[in-house]
Amino acid sequence: MTATKSDAMPDAPAVELGDLKVGFGKIRVVDGVDLTLERGQAMALIGESGSGKSVTLRAILRLFPEGRSRITGTLKVAGRDVLALSKRELADFRGRTVSMIFQEPLLAFDPVYTVGRQITEAIQRHEKVSASEARKRALALFERVRIPSPERRLDNYPHEMSGGMRQRAMIALALACRPQVLLADEPTTALDATVQIQILLLLRELQRDLGLSIILVTHDLGAAVEVADRISVMYAGHVVETGSAHQVVLDPHHPYTIGLLRSRAEGAMDKGARLQTIPGSPPDLANRPPGCPFAPRCFLAAERCRQEMPPVAEIAPGHRVACWRTEEAAAAFRAGESAREAVPA
Amino acid sequence: MLLYILKRLIYVTPVAFGVSVVCFLLVHLAPGDPLSAVLPADATQATIDEMRSAYGFDKPLPVQYAIWLWHVLQGDLGTSIATGRPVLGEVSRAVVNSLILASVATLIGFTFGTLFGFVAGYRRNSVLDRTASALSVFGVSVPHYWLGMVLVIIFSATLGWLPPTGAGPDGSGNWRPDFEHLRYIILPAVTMSVIPTGIIARTVRALVADILAQDFVEALRAKGLDEWGVFKHVVRNAAPTALAIMGLQLGYLLGGSILIETVFAWPGTGFLLNAAIFQRDLPLLQGSILVLAMFFVLLNLIVDVMQTALDPRIERA
Ligand SMILES: Nc1ncnc2c1ncn2[C@@H]1O[C@H](COP(=O)(O)OP(=O)(O)OP(=O)(O)O)[C@@H](O)[C@H]1O
Ligand code: SF4
Ligand SMILES: [Mg+2]
């Protein structure tokens, strides 16, 4: 049985995660994530190192070995229940409905196959086309992602390309079977600053032209605003704030989001700077305290925060925050912003 | 690629020259008079001197070397003191026999070694992995002449299925690929394959585990490849190293099989070397060592070229 695109419900959201939990052994790394990505939207996933961004992405493709991981909750892509797919269906689904762009393209390509061969391999895996037809498609993809002298570059081995070109080739590979959803895990972290921007712009262009739905993991808030329609902020395996890019950046309601924005404002604005300037460190996932996971580091933490998990509140349509003190947080942010404006830098 | 091979051939020349010098000196530095083995104990000084100049032992060393090398380059390795036959003929017949035995043994070792290695690398820490690892430790550490004797006792002496010694029914020592001769090669080849099996299994296990842990394997799964599709990539990535190990094992077997060839009376180079040493047959010894050493150099070259052809990351120029 092959999964064709017509199997999917046409108006179901591109990705729907409901109370998604991912555990390795006793440790629950993703702890009840709710996210909805509409078709044709781009969502940025931000948060400190270890907050579960990559694990969430990999869970969507069920890339973890069955025996050593446990995934529960709702996990739907284009209306299809990913957790219910058989091995065979899962392999058909990967690369065809959803594909992934990895952080370090040099490591994500097989070093002993030419890049072109790795692309035609993906095409021929999912579609019954001749080798020469697949090669033509690969060439068109290389042209689409604007790799210079594409014909020649198809025969390159990964190590023969520059970092930026490799990431373009990775994008070409990800698009090879015309997927609906693209998952990009820090696609530009390994690249030079100027190349980073080019790759991000290319992703945005492709997303708009092809009507792709994208989840982009990034540490770079600037990139998130640039590329994404929506931003979701993760902390310790939870989504603590999600909303449109403007809602999250201009009107944040979660102290952690505010912390991220402030650390960026103070962190000399250099692109790609890691978000590590909030004092303290994330909780030990093996030993979660009751209540809000951010409480030990939160400037607004109250007694209740340490006792009870905060509920998710809908601040405005599509803007949801998991915090007991959203109004105080928003007010503190506004006060901080006006203070900053009053003192010109 | 052709240019690369040519370049490698040029690099090999000084190595080959060095090897020839060492081979030549080896015999001349060995204690004892090479002629004492062939001359009667009561030979007169005149006879000794006569023999000396007949074999050229009276000239200074560099001159002897030059003469020897000149002859070697023309394919003349001298005459065996013990049999009076040309060394070249003796050595080439032995080399062919050894090569056949070593190749069959390497083939067995490669087949089982890669099989065990792949299973163990894929299912690390499983029962299968432990069994394969235990077997390979056994293979590497068991004394193989002892194993050879045990196999002879079981399959020849007790069961009578296979002949215990020799290369063929006629005893002439020319192996041919027919059923009768095949029966003669089984026991020595199996005995000899035990070490390469162990070594190849261990190497391939580590190799496969290492490849499977690399990021690109996850990326292959992410684009929809099934286990078989991923397996093909693993094989392709493991091939250069696995083949190199195989080539080197073949080399070791060619050079280091004196004990097994002696146990099974296999008429190969090991057997020949053994005879040459005990009979103090210096031209024969010199010739066999030279041929074996050159063989090793050549084999290394082939392994290098093969690895370069298979692994695009190695610079070819
Ligand atoms: N395969 C795995 N087995 C066990 N634990 C894992 C596995 N993958 C990730 N983790 C753990 O899950 C947590 C979240 O990891 P994840 O890679 O999702 O973080 P991240 O948000 O992507 O961080 P970064 O920004 O550094 O990429 C970490 O504590 C990590 O150690
Ligand atoms: S719930 Fe309390 S501790 Fe948690 S972020 Fe909100 S204010 Fe801070
Ligand atoms: Mg990550």
- Ligand 1: which atom is nearest the Cα of residue A24? 4
Quote the ligand 2 centre to A218 CA distance (angstroms): 24
Mutate which of A24, A27, A28, A29 for ligand 1? The one with the most ligand atoms within 8 Å of its CB, which is A29
Phi-psi region of B157 (alpha: psi -120 to 50; beta: other; left: phi over 0): alpha
C-beta atoms of B223 and A109 within 8 A: no
The pLDDT, as a whole number, for residue B13 is: 85
For residue B172, name the pLDDT band (cuts at 50, 70, 90): low
CA B296 to chain centre: 8
Question: Could you tell me if the CB of A301 is within 6 A of ligand 2?
Answer: yes
- Ligand 2: which atom is nearest the Cα of residue A301? 3
Question: Residues of A with CB below 8 A from B219's CB?
Answer: 100, 102, 108-109
Quick check: helix, strand or coil at residue B29? helix
pLDDT tens column, A121-163:
999 999 999 999 999 999 999 999 999 999 999 999 999 999 9
- Two tokens, residue A100: 């992934």
Please give the Cα distance from B236 to B214 (Å, whole number).
14
Residues 6+ apart with CB under 8 A from B94: B267, B268, B269, B271, B272, B288
Smallest CA–CA distance from B218 into chain A, residue = A63
Please give the Cα distance from B224 to A186 (Å, whole number).
21
Strand partners, A101: A184
C-beta atoms of A109 and B214 within 8 A: no
Please give the Cα distance from A231 to A221 (Å, whole number).
9
Cβ-contact A44, A222 below 8 angstroms? no
Which secondary-structure segment (H or E) carries A34?
Answer: strand A27-37
Q: What is the greatest pairwise CA distance in chain A?
A: 67
The pLDDT, as a whole number, for residue A7 is: 52
Which has the closest alpha carbon to B114: B248, B207, B247? B207
Higher pLDDT, B134 or A97: A97
pLDDT tens column, B25-82:
877 776 666 666 666 667 777 777 777 777 677 778 888 888 888 888 888 877 887 7
Domains of chain B: 94-316 (1.10.3720.10)
Please give the Cα distance from A170 to A185 (Å, whole number).
12
pLDDT tens column, A98-126:
999 998 889 999 999 999 999 999 999 99
Residue A272 pLDDT > 80: no
Cβ-contact A274, A51 below 8 angstroms? no
Of A219-223, A230-234, B79-83, give the range with the top mean pLDDT.
A230-234
Please provide the DSSP assignment of A90-150 as one string. Answer: HHHHBTTTEEEE-S-HHHHS-TTS-HHHHHHHHHHHHS---HHHHHHHHHHHHHHTT-SSH
Please give the Cα distance from A28 to A286 (Å, whole number).
7
Quote the ligand 1 centre to A26 CA distance (angstroms): 14
Task: Flag whether the pTM goes above 0.90.
Answer: no
Question: Residues of B with CB below 8 A from A108's CB?
Answer: 215-216, 218-219
Which of B215, B225, B240 comes nearest A125 by C-beta? B225
The burial of A44, by beta-carbon neighbours within 10 Å (0-12 exposed, 13-18 middle, 19 or more buried), is given as: buried
Domains of chain A: 15-251 (3.40.50.300), 257-266+275-344 (no CATH)
Sheet holding A15-24, edge to edge: A27-37, A15-24, A70-77, A80-81
Residue nearest to ligand 1 atom 29, measured at CA: A50
A41 touches chain B (CB under 8 A): no
The nearest CA of chain B is from the CA of A118 a distance in Å of 9
Quote the ligand 2 centre to A115 CA distance (angstroms): 48
The pLDDT, as a whole number, for residue A341 is: 63
Cβ-contact A252, A71 below 8 angstroms? no
Residues in chain A: 345
Terminal Cα distance for chain B, rounded:
7
The nearest CA of chain B is from the CA of A328 a distance in Å of 43
Please give the Cα distance from A280 to A283 (Å, whole number).
9
The pLDDT, as a whole number, for residue B83 is: 79
Which of A92, A109, A176 comes nearest B216 by C-beta? A109
Please give the Cα distance from A132 to A149 (Å, whole number).
18
C-beta atoms of A94 and B221 within 8 A: yes
C-beta atoms of B237 and A110 within 8 A: yes
The pLDDT, as a whole number, for residue A340 is: 65
Residue position matching structure tokens 């999964």: A3
The DSSP secondary-structure symbol of A310 reads P
CA A323 to chain centre: 23
Alpha helices (H) in A156-276, listed in sequence order: 163-175, 193-210, 221-227, 245-250, 255-266
C-beta atoms of A112 and B216 within 8 A: no
Residue position matching structure tokens 């590590």: A276
Return the sign of the alpha-carbon dihedral for residues A336, A337, A342, A345: positive
Please give the Cα distance from B239 to B246 (Å, whole number).
10
ipTM above 0.90, yes or no: no
Question: Residues of A with CB below 8 A from B229's CB?
Answer: 121, 125
C-beta atoms of B216 and A93 within 8 A: no
Residue nearest to ligand 1 atom 2, measured at CA: A24
Higher pLDDT, B166 or A293: A293
Which has the closest alpha carbon to A103: B153, B219, B10? B219
Please give the Cα distance from A114 to A130 (Å, whole number).
18
The burial of B198, by beta-carbon neighbours within 10 Å (0-12 exposed, 13-18 middle, 19 or more buried), is given as: buried
Of A52-56, A221-225, A275-279, give the range with the top mean pLDDT.
A52-56
Average pLDDT for residues A238-246, to the nearest whole number?
A: 94
Question: Residues of B with CB below 8 A from A112's CB?
Answer: 236-237, 240, 310-313
The pLDDT, as a whole number, for residue B297 is: 84
Question: Residues of A with CB below 8 A from B236's CB?
Answer: 110, 112-113
- Two tokens, residue A74: 């709702």
Cβ-contact A245, A44 below 8 angstroms? yes
Residue A109's CB is within 10 A of a number of other CB atoms, namely 25
Residue A169 pLDDT > 80: yes
To the nearest whole number, what is the mean pLDDT of chain B?
83
Q: Which regions of B71-175 does DSSP assign to beta strands (E)?
A: none
A167 touches chain B (CB under 8 A): no
Residue B308 pLDDT > 60: yes
Please give the Cα distance from B244 to B128 (Å, whole number).
26
A99 touches chain B (CB under 8 A): yes
C-beta atoms of B237 and A93 within 8 A: no
Quote the ligand 3 centre to B200 CA distance (angstroms): 37
